[in-house]
């Protein structure tokens, strides 16, 4: 995803035009959203029980539609929307690869849900302990917590500040001689409100509010897409789509980008971008990286990340968990058309000059990279009429609060279940819940402390998107191969994670000073040096390297050490599933589940066939 961290500067430079401030109708729409949100939170808190099951997994009693909506809302944050729209305006549908990973949710539903449901675990590290060892649980818990704090929380905070900074730049709070701008006001307000209902209601509050937020998000974003096409087509949506295809270069509708962009074949000279040295295809999304690395990241994220899978763990049984995951896959089909397409619409409206306020987006027939990052908020400001603008702003707030609530709750669960309960095995249910609330509150405080850091780090998001590429491969390897190959053991798992994480951490340490433009690294490393080569390998290709190394280490170490005992891994791999396990899994699905999954796959294949330039 392109950097959303340049958005604030882009918006401030373009400035607001007439009739872009929120009207009373907009404020009414936003107020109604918060009233509903608080009402749902109050209802949930009044029904909550003082048990770990209830606080962390909503009593394992979530409906399939709540599971699916919560998974979707947790995934889609404001930075997701803004970044996808910016990518759409600049690069077209290239980033749709990640959004078409709805098939990964089908892998969760049909491959992993049976194992998770049988094991009755609270967390992904806990499942890893059952399959392998306590050591692997500790490693994954610590790595996951650090990753959540430095990536998901940081990006979520910035997105909240960006939304307020872009749409309410005039809002300020003066305390003595200190002026607090809208970035700070928005960030603090969203963090505190989200933290409040997460601390009080736990997973149940998060899940049910996610259901509300999903509805608001989809309706709000669909409104922007439809209204954009309607404007582009002079009152006809179909004509608007035809105009979109005509005004946007055909390459913007091509999902499969060449390894080397046209016009630069035969050259391997690096170019200067965003304060770092990067190969010319670094923002080009070559098909090889998308075909190999993107699925690895997708399977890790959708099938093994606590942030996502915790919702499926909150289902009462395998059937509900599977249907919730399939429903989430259906919802995951929407972002291409609700977030990426608005970016293309913004480009087309700017190119046709039908909305003068969007003119800075295009210059000489091409998108201006810096300005394109602001595509989504610029559309909201310059295109939508009063009332609809408030609805879309409520959708942005829904996205932000849903993703933040998810990460607060996931961090709390990881710390309390994987660490606190291990340190204090005699803790009562009340003590466990209390520690869960304290851990959530601690995450809120950490988020508040992060605000000045992320506000002043304009290149941070570019760096943070690489974290998933560098840390996800070993986690994907141990989970995916762990359920398919019963011969793989605890030693192989532990060494695969350690070696994989060391490689990822090494790349992150090499990238950090260059990406953040620290003194002495403004121009990167000495050209041709080892660190220069490491820094300039496309991050998806480096991710593939980590994946291959992790697989080799896991198999080699496992086969050089004793096989795991059969009774230890019973029901935790395909090879050790009992006849009773297979019978229960077969009884947990019917033709509705198969037909729904086939529908998702058909839509994905259709999108790949359509978006070929």
Residue 159 pLDDT grade (very low, low, confident, very high; cuts 50, 70, 90): low
Ranges 303-307, 310-314, 320-324, 351-355, most confident: 320-324
Residue 265 pLDDT grade (very low, low, confident, very high; cuts 50, 70, 90): very low
Question: What is the average pLDDT score of the chain?
Answer: 79
Q: Which one is predicted more confidently, 71 or 375?
A: 71
Spatial neighbors of 493 by CB under 8 A, at least 6 apart, are 128, 131, 132, 133, 136, 478, 482, 554, 558
Please provide the DSSP assignment of 152-184 as one string. IIHHHHHHHHHHHHHH-TT--EEETTEEE-HHH
Report the distance separating Cα 412 and Cα 266, nearest Å.
51
Residue 370 pLDDT grade (very low, low, confident, very high; cuts 50, 70, 90): low
Spatial neighbors of 263 by CB under 8 A, at least 6 apart, are none
Spatial neighbors of 460 by CB under 8 A, at least 6 apart, are 5, 154, 158, 454, 516
Mean pLDDT computed over 8-22: 41
- Name the nearest CA neighbour of 377 among 220, 259, 492, 559: 220
Ranges 168-172, 191-195, 262-266, 307-311, most confident: 307-311
* pLDDT for 18: 35
Quote the pTM value. Answer: 0.82
* pLDDT for 11: 36
Structure tokens at 580: 């009773």
Residue 5 pLDDT grade (very low, low, confident, very high; cuts 50, 70, 90): very low
**pLDDT above 80 (res 167):** no
**pLDDT above 80 (res 341):** yes
- Tokens 């608007």 identify what position? 240
* pLDDT for 50: 65
Mean pLDDT computed over 295-318: 88
- Name the nearest CA neighbour of 247 among 339, 345, 336, 337: 345
Q: How far is CA 20 from CA 196, 344, 370, 380, 383, in A?
A: 31, 21, 21, 8, 9
Spatial neighbors of 46 by CB under 8 A, at least 6 apart, are none
Per residue in 61-102, pLDDT (tens digit) is 888 998 998 888 888 876 677 778 877 888 788 778 778 888
Domains observed in the chain:
10-261+286-457 (1.20.1730.10), 459-563 (no CATH)
Q: Which one is predicted more confidently, 482 or 508?
A: 482
Q: At what angle do helices 182-232 and 24-47 cross, to 10 degrees?
A: 110
């Amino acid at each position: 995803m392109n950097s959303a961290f340049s958005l604030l500067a882009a918006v401030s430079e373009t400035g607001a035009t007439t009739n872009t401030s929120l009207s009373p109708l907009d404020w009414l729409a936003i107020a109604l959203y918060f009233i509903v949100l608080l009402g749902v939170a109050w209802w949930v808190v009044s029904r909550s029980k003082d048990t770990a099951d209830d606080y962390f997994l909503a009593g394992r009693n979530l409906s399939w539609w709540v599971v699916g909506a919560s998974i979707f809302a947790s995934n889609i944050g404001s930075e997701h929307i803004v970044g996808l729209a910016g990518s759409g305006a600049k690069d077209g549908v290239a980033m749709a690869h990640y959004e078409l990973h709805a098939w990964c949710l089908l892998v969760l539903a049909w491959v992993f849900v049976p194992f998770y449901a049988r094991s009755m675990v609270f967390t992904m590290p806990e499942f890893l302990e059952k399959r392998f060892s306590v050591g692997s649980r500790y490693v994954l818990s610590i790595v996951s917590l650090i990753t959540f704090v430095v990536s998901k929380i940081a990006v979520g905070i910035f997105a909240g500040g960006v939304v307020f900074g872009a749409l309410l730049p005039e809002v300020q709070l003066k305390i003595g001689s200190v002026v607090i701008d809208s970035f700070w006001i928005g960030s603090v307000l969203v963090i505190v409100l989200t933290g409040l209902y997460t601390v009080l209601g736990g997973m149940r509050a998060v899940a049910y509010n996610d259901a509300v937020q999903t509805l608001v998000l989809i309706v709000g974003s669909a409104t922007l897409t439809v209204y954009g096409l309607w404007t582009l087509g002079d009152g006809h949506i179909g004509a608007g789509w035809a105009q979109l295809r005509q005004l946007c270069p055909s390459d913007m509708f091509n999902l499969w980008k060449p390894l080397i962009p046209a016009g630069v074949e035969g050259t391997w000279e690096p170019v200067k971008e965003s304060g770092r040295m990067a190969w010319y295809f670094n923002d080009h999304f070559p098909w090889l990286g998308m075909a190999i690395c993107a699925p690895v990241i997708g399977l890790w994220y959708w099938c093994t990340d606590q942030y996502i899978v915790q919702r499926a763990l909150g289902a009462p049984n395998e059937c509900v968990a599977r249907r919730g995951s399939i429903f989430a896959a259906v919802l995951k089909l929407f972002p291409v058309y609700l977030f990426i397409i608005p970016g293309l619409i913004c480009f087309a409206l700017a190119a046709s000059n039908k909305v003068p306020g969007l003119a800075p987006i295009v210059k000489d027939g091409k998108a201006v990279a810096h300005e394109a990052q602001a595509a989504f908020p610029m559309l909201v400001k310059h295109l939508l009429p009063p009332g609809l603008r408030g609805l879309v702003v409520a959708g942005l707030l829904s996205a932000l609060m849903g993703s933040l609530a998810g990460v607060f709750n996931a961090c709390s669960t990881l710390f309390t279940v994987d660490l606190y309960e291990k340190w204090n095995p005699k803790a009562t249910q009340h003590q466990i819940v209390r520690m869960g609330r304290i851990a959530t509150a601690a995450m809120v405080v950490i988020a508040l402390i992060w605000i000045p850091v992320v506000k002043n780090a304009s290149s941070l998001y570019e760096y943070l998107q690489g974290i998933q590429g560098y840390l996800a491969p070993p986690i994907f390897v141990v989970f995916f191969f762990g359920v398919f190959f019963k011969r793989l053991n605890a030693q192989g798992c532990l060494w695969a994670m350690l070696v994989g994480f060391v490689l990822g951490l090494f790349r992150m340490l090499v990238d950090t000073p260059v990406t953040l433009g620290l003194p002495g690294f403004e121009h990167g490393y000495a050209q041709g040096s080892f660190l220069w080569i490491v820094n300039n390998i496309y991050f998806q290709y480096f991710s593939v390297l980590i994946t291959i190394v992790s697989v080799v280490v896991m198999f080699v170490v496992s086969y050089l050490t004793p096989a795991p005992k059969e009774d230890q891994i019973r029901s935790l791999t395909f090879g050790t599933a009992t006849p009773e396990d297979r019978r229960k899994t077969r009884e947990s699905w019917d033709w509705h589940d198969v037909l729904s999954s086939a529908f998702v796959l058909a839509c994905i294949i259709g999108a790949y066939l359509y978006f070929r330039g």
